[in-house]
Amino acid sequence: MHIFDAIYKKGNMLQCKFSDNFIHPNYLGAEFPLGQHLITAISYSKEYVKELYSDLIKSYISYLDNETENNFKAYEQALFKIDDYCIYLHEISYKLITTIKATHPRYSLSDCMDFINSFDKNTITNFTNQFTRIKKEVSVQFKECILLWNTAVELLLDEFDLSINMIKSDISDICNSPATATGLDRLAWLDVNRRIHFFDMDFPVRLSVDLGEAVDSKFFVSQKTDEESIAYSISLCTTEQMMYYDFSSSLENNLPFKMCKNCNTPFIPKGRVDSLYCDRTMPGFKDKCSVIGALNTYKNKQPGIEADFYAARKRYATRVSRNPLLKTEFEVWKINAKEKLTAYRNGEISADEFKKWFMDDEWSKI
Ligand SMILES: [Zn+2]
């Protein structure tokens, strides 16, 4: 499904124009930072996204039942909240809203056959059973409708999870690659089949009228001015194609994809490039990884360990002054020692590991 009509790259931002504005008459497209939404797509919180969709479903059905301006605003806000969280979920919103629109309030199965037929047999049976219940229990219809569409969201999210498996593992592999490679060179770390996939990617490029300036990361029909600027864009994209385009453009722009030391999930540091922890509160954790990381680093620190380190260094230096033949060896040791000290200070190695290194070193046996 070509959910995006065109993608423009502007510095560290991507702009997308939707192929269809059926789900919102004035909403043309969105602008979002390179890499960041992609990272969210491969590590999204399912519980949170389900809540966002639950709000979207409720507000949209309320709007269909009663087309007031306030109801439209509530629906619009719920829709924008999902795109702001992750633009790659836009296709799910699109499929969901178009299906609800076609089905509500008659709830005749024939109205949503396109949607149902895209799933496997068991899923279809469960979904249609839920569907027929709505017809029977007229008094609880609203509640039943919400349940039905929440089930539809779960099906769509399962489908989404399957579709992102490959790019998810590519990004993880690249985050585990040695830090020496930069930019597109990091693709060399992938196994040969995946590398070929990237080398063979072909995006249809065309010249078209640019989307102009975004307002709160959105483009609306009413924003259009007479002044049109022409820009290169890639055209007619599926969600998956846009993800690959986003990823290779992010690498090209040298975005530092890395693994978070706490949740072991890829992230792009928003602040300091050498951050070891991401800024997310991941499922199963109470705090943001950055907070947990700072606490671990603190716990790992032992009072006096740096003083012990400098005392050991002094002992080795004294030995060198007595035996100048050891000088070259000591210079090498000093470079390693500096790296170990930095690693300890950044929480990359524990205090025990650090101490073991500078005490158990060959130097102590001389
Ligand atoms: Zn993390």
The residues spanned by each domain of the chain are: 1-255, 305-365
265 Cα to the center of ligand 1, angstroms: 6
pLDDT exceeds cutoff 80 at 46: yes
171 Cα to the center of ligand 1, angstroms: 15
12 Cα to the center of ligand 1, angstroms: 23
pLDDT of residue 251: 94
281 Cα to the center of ligand 1, angstroms: 7
CB atoms closer than 10 angstroms to residue 173: 16
113 Cα to the center of ligand 1, angstroms: 41
277 Cα to the center of ligand 1, angstroms: 5
Mean pLDDT of 25-37: 96
285 Cα to the center of ligand 1, angstroms: 9
pLDDT of residue 38: 98
5 Cα to the center of ligand 1, angstroms: 34
Phi, psi dihedral angles at 166 (to 5 degrees): -70, -50
- Residue 136 pLDDT class (50, 70, 90 cuts): low
278 Cα to the center of ligand 1, angstroms: 4
What residues does 10 pair with on adjacent strands?
13
- Residue 225 pLDDT class (50, 70, 90 cuts): low
* Neighbour-count burial for 150-161, b at 16+ CB within 10 Å, e otherwise: eebbebbbeebe
- Condensed to tens digits (0 to 9), the pLDDT of residues 290-347 reads 988 877 776 666 778 888 888 888 888 888 888 888 888 888 888 888 888 877 877 7
93 Cα to the center of ligand 1, angstroms: 27
pLDDT of residue 229: 78
Read off the amino acid at residue 68. Answer: T
Q: Distance (Å, rounded) from C-alpha 135 to C-alpha 141? A: 8
45 Cα to the center of ligand 1, angstroms: 12
159 Cα to the center of ligand 1, angstroms: 25
What residues does 17 pair with on adjacent strands?
6, 29
260 Cα to the center of ligand 1, angstroms: 5
- Residue 282 pLDDT class (50, 70, 90 cuts): confident
279 Cα to the center of ligand 1, angstroms: 6
- Condensed to tens digits (0 to 9), the pLDDT of residues 96-126 reads 999 999 998 888 888 888 888 888 888 888 8
The helix/strand/coil state of 321 is helix
301 Cα to the center of ligand 1, angstroms: 21
242 Cα to the center of ligand 1, angstroms: 25
* Neighbour-count burial for 301-333, b at 16+ CB within 10 Å, e otherwise: eeeebeeebeebbeebeeebeeeeebeeebeeb
- Residue 7 pLDDT class (50, 70, 90 cuts): very high
pLDDT of residue 177: 82
Contact 89, 45 (CB under 8 A): no
49 Cα to the center of ligand 1, angstroms: 18
348 Cα to the center of ligand 1, angstroms: 15
- Give 160 or 287, the one with higher predicted confidence: 160
Mean pLDDT of 265-272: 89
pLDDT exceeds cutoff 70 at 223: no
Contact 74, 62 (CB under 8 A): yes
Q: Distance (Å, rounded) from C-alpha 192 to C-alpha 61? A: 48
80 Cα to the center of ligand 1, angstroms: 25
Mean pLDDT of 36-50: 96
291 Cα to the center of ligand 1, angstroms: 10
pLDDT exceeds cutoff 80 at 245: yes
The helix/strand/coil state of 203 is coil
214 Cα to the center of ligand 1, angstroms: 30
Mean pLDDT of 172-201: 90
Rounded to the nearest integer, the mean pLDDT of the chain is: 88
Q: What angle do CA 118, 120, 125 make, to 5 degrees?
A: 105
pLDDT of residue 66: 94
